[in-house]
């Protein structure tokens, strides 16, 4: 799932897609490699350590360019902010808390892609099935159960 401890040559990965390797793109990929499922705001806070002048608009532009070439995967499962991760093509799936937007990785139970086949393919050759398990995380369940009703979660 994640490649922690694995040093990746991001500039050459970026150039292999035909994009120019910029400090913004490298910093964004390094940040995502260390912290998968980050929102654009979280990315901004991380990338700012290396590039203090970067703006949220630049983060959106940079991360979208990486999504467009397939280096980054955009996860948008509900009304909460989209999250980003390095595209590993490892067929992993996600659990998603509908209330706070938290996303975690889960291994595919089936093992190989596509792990499901549709009833009707409409003539398409299917290679992947994205599985998202939606629910409520324990933090959000605890907040809902709080006896004094002091919760920052609205449903
Ligand atoms: Zn939650
Ligand atoms: Zn993931
Ligand atoms: Zn699967």
Pick the ligand that lies closest to the CA of residue 112: 3
pTM: 0.84
Distance of CA 130 to the CA centre of its chain: 13
Q: Are strands 72-75 and 83-86 parallel, antiparallel or unpaired?
A: antiparallel
Report how far ligand 2's centroid is from the alpha carbon of 86 (Å). 8
Residue 151: which pLDDT band, with cuts at 50, 70 and 90?
Answer: low
**Does 39 share its domain with 18?**
yes
pLDDT single digits (tens) 46-105? 999 999 999 999 999 999 999 999 999 999 998 889 999 999 889 999 999 999 999 999
Pick the ligand that lies closest to the CA of residue 95: 2
Binding residues for Zn(2+): 97, 100, 137, 140
First to last CA, the chain: 31
How far apart (Å, rounded) are the C-alpha atoms in residues 120 and 85?
30
Instruction: Give pLDDT, residue 2.
Output: 47
Binding residues: 97, 100, 137, 140
Measured torsion, CA atoms of residues 48, 53, 55, 59, in degrees rounded to the nearest 10: -50
Eight-state DSSP code of residue 147? T
pLDDT single digits (tens) 102-114? 999 999 988 888 9
Any idea what the Cα angle at residue 111 is, between residues 110 and 116, rounded to 5°? 45
How far apart (Å, rounded) are the C-alpha atoms in residues 31 and 72?
12
Q: Whole domain around residue 70: which residue ranges?
A: 1-87
Which CATH number characterizes residue 119's domain?
Answer: 3.30.1490
Which CATH number characterizes residue 7's domain?
Answer: 1.10.10.10
Report how far ligand 3's centroid is from the alpha carbon of 121 (Å). 18
**Does 119 share its domain with 144?**
yes
């Amino acid at each position: 799932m994640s490649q922690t401890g694995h040093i990746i040559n991001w500039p050459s990965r970026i150039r292999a897609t035909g994009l120019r390797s910029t400090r913004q793109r490298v910093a964004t990929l390094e940040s995502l490699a260390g912290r998968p499922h980050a929102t654009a705001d979280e990315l901004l806070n991380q990338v700012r350590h290396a590039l203090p002048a970067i703006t949220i608009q630049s983060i959106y532009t940079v991360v979208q360019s990486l999504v467009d070439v397939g280096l980054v995967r955009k996860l948008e499962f509900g009304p909460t902010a989209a999250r980003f991760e390095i595209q590993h093509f490892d067929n992993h799936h996600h659990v998603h808390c509908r209330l706070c937007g938290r996303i975690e990785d889960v291994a595919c139970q089936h093992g190989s892609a596509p792990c499901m086949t549709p009833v009707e393919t409409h003539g398409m050759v299917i290679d992947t099935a994205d599985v998202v398990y939606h629910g409520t995380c324990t933090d959000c369940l605890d907040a809902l159960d709080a006896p004094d009703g002091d919760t920052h979660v609205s449903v």
